[in-house]
Amino acid sequence: MPEITYREAVRDAMSEAMRRDGDVFIMGEDIAEMGGSMGVTQGMLQEFGPERVRNTPISEMAIVGAGVGAAMAGMRPIVEIMYQDFTTLAMEQLVNQAAKHRYMSGGQLKVPLTVRTQGGAGWSPGAQHAQQLEAWFVHVPGLKVVFPSTPEDVRGLLFRSIYDDNPVVFFEHRTLYGIKGEVPAEIEPIELGQGRIHREGEDVTVVATGRLVHEALAAAADAEKDGISVEVFDPRTLLPLDEEGLVSSVKKTNRCVVAHEAIVRMGFGAEVAALVQERAFDYLDAPVERVGARFSPLPFAPVMEAYVIPHEEDVLAAIKRTVGRNGNG
């Protein structure tokens, strides 16, 4: 199997869809000659031309809204929002328009739009360029939310998202663009709503997303040295969520840690904790532990930033807290 980077995997998925299908095109800021601020669309202008790789003004509402309109008119647009912090500028179009047209029309319309964006801290951009806002979108019926953590997953899930007939908000993690991983020779679409067990274990399930999947895998390797067997479950899509896969893993291990880079309070982990207590309460040997960012904007100074966001040792500490308790609490 070939080995490619996460960045190349994103590009592969888009390029392959655009080769197969004239209805697919991409628009966003600085995506043409510059190849995107993360270099994701490099070379696509040369292959597909400026009509299908469209540089836009700095105009998030209009770009997302134009994507909604093009989608309703039968295209399959991909919109790139440079930083997920800037999705806040397009919230109205995402929440009131993209997510609602099918519903308000009583099923007459569909909105096959993919909005790609990226974020993630660890490089000191400060408070407005690295937030993790995926939980905001999981609260909106009508949207789908995808957050892959490996090259294989990002390629298969993005390709599938482009062909989904619903608006998909697709999160990429900035610090993962350079990681390499094996992928199938041909793109294999991955259905939304199927989690992935990255590592099997017996004692505790770590439900992790994005960068924290990799932190969790490192923590699991460390925990193994102490005789703790950790299962790492990546839901990959937050909406729809693979509830069966998640719950059955927790029923097997009897313990659960949920880890994401986003702020803990009201985060995706809160929903996972609620789900686990609703569906696996009698199986739990310990309270669900949550790992995530502290309740703070992202600071600039590296030492402060590192203090705010979660790392491998935070996941490891949470694992040890859960296994440190016995079944009687």
Partner 1 sequence: MATAEKTSKGLSPDTLKEFLREMLLIRRFEEKVEERFRAGELPGFLHVAIGQEAVAVGVCRALEDDDIIASTHRAHGHTLAKGTHPNALMAELYGKVEGCSRGYGGSMHLYDVENGNMGANAVVGGGLPAIVGAALAYKLRGEPRVALAFFGDGATNIGTFHEALNLAQLWKVPAVFVCENNHYAESTPAHQQLPIEDLTKRAEAFGMTAMTVDGQDVEVVYRTALEATSHAREGRGPVFLLAETFRLTGHYIGDPQVYRPKEEIRELRRTQDPLDRLRATLDVPDDEWDAMEREIAELVDGSVEFAKNGTDPEPQDALKNIYAE
* Catalytic option among 8, 29, 60, 231: 60
Query: Could you write out the three-class secondary structure of 22-77?
Result: CCEEEEECCCCCCCCCCCCCCCHHHHHCCCCEEECCCCHHHHHHHHHHHHHCCCEE
Active site residue 60: yes
Residue recorded with tokens 């600085």: 30
Which C-beta is closer to partner 1: that of 144 or that of 196?
Answer: 144
Comparing CB distances to partner 1, the nearer of 165 and 244 is 165
Q: How far is the CB of 203 from partner 1 (least distance, A)?
A: 37
Provide the phi-psi class of 50: left if phi over 0, else alpha when psi is between -120 and 50, else beta. Answer: alpha
Question: In the bound complex, what is the minimum distance in angstroms from residue 96's beta carbon to partner 1?
Answer: 5
d(CA 127, CA 310): 16
CA–CA separation, 187 and 76 (whole Å): 18
**Least Å from the CB of residue 62 to partner 1:** 4
- Of the candidates 129, 198, 214, 260, the residue annotated as catalytic is 129
Residue type, 173: H
75, 81, 86, 89: CA torsion to nearest 10:
-20
Give the residue with the Cβ less far from partner 1, 106 or 324. Answer: 106
CA distance 206 to 246: 10
CB of 322 to partner 1, least distance (A): 35
Q: Among 24, 90, 31, 83, which Cα is nearest to 55's?
A: 31
Of the chain, the end-to-end C-alpha distance in Å amounts to: 47
Residue ranges that bind partner 1, judged by CB under 8 A? 25, 51-52, 54, 56-57, 59, 61-75, 77, 92-93, 96-97, 101-112, 141-142, 144, 165-166
What is the smallest separation between the CB atom of 278 and partner 1, expressed in angstroms? 19
Smaller CB distance to partner 1: residue 56 or 194?
Answer: 56
- Compare residues 65 and 156 and give the one whose CB is closer to partner 1: 65
Check if 202 is active-site: no
Residue whose C-alpha is closest to residue 99's, from 71, 124, 74, 123: 71
Active site residues: 60, 129
